[in-house]
Structure 1
Amino acid sequence: MIDIDPEKLIIKALQYYLPEHSDRVMTLAPTDWSDREFLVVRATGGGASSQPHLYKVCYFEIEAFSSTRGDASRLARRAGEAMIAAARENFRDETAYLFRFREVNAPWLVHDGLSSKHGDEFMFQGTYNISMRSLR
């Protein structure tokens, strides 16, 4: 089994299912982040799989940023829906495919160190669980 990069696979899935945001899905907030709509993905390297030699289980967060509360909430929900579709359709890249998606915490408004200092920027964060299996 080759090593799977969960963040890369999740980002590729989001870029595929949300093509209008494909250049705004990243692992870190951009330096010119204010007044932009974008998604930040943070994933663990792997989790508790009952058969780790066959597949990985990954916990990950999607943070949706926007200049309005409603748009940030909508973007977060759309990102979750995109990951549901990715798992249902077994989205794949050249290394692995996705399956078995679960929402752990629904997207909710978070006041973190980045957006809380800017009253004109909102962040919704959702936590999810997904499984992935190597193609080889």
Structure 2
Amino acid sequence: MSRLELRPATRSGSGTRTERHFLDYVVDGQPWAARHRLDEVTPLGWGTADLARAAVAQLLVEAPPDLDGRVALYVCAECGDHLCGALTARVSRQDDVVTWSDFADTYWELDRWEHDPTAYVDWRAVRFSLPDYRRALAVALPG
């Protein structure tokens, strides 16, 4: 099983880029914002309380995914809109195990979602123990 932490991170700002403070996924000690190298941030730690609750519910597979059966792990750092692009995954739960798999760049193209997995072919599925995973995600929930 892999271990998930949420750790404060910052996307630097300059010119037209907004500095963004967010909670990054750290899987087995590796921060994923540095791993994917996109100009995207998690939907956790910088939006509204309702958005954080909705994202956590999807990550816990307690709410339906919103992108062709996929969950946005990272979203546009400027607006958080999935239409701007997202790093998505299939998130599934069986008994006390949550799995992230099938990672892809996802974007809106000609009235449909496109999913490009080519940059993530070496990314293997990660599995988390539900109790530990739930505790890690609780950091992102307000009050």
- TM-score after normalising by structure 2: 0.26
Structure number having the greater strand percentage:
2
Higher helix share: 1
TM-score by length of 1: 0.27
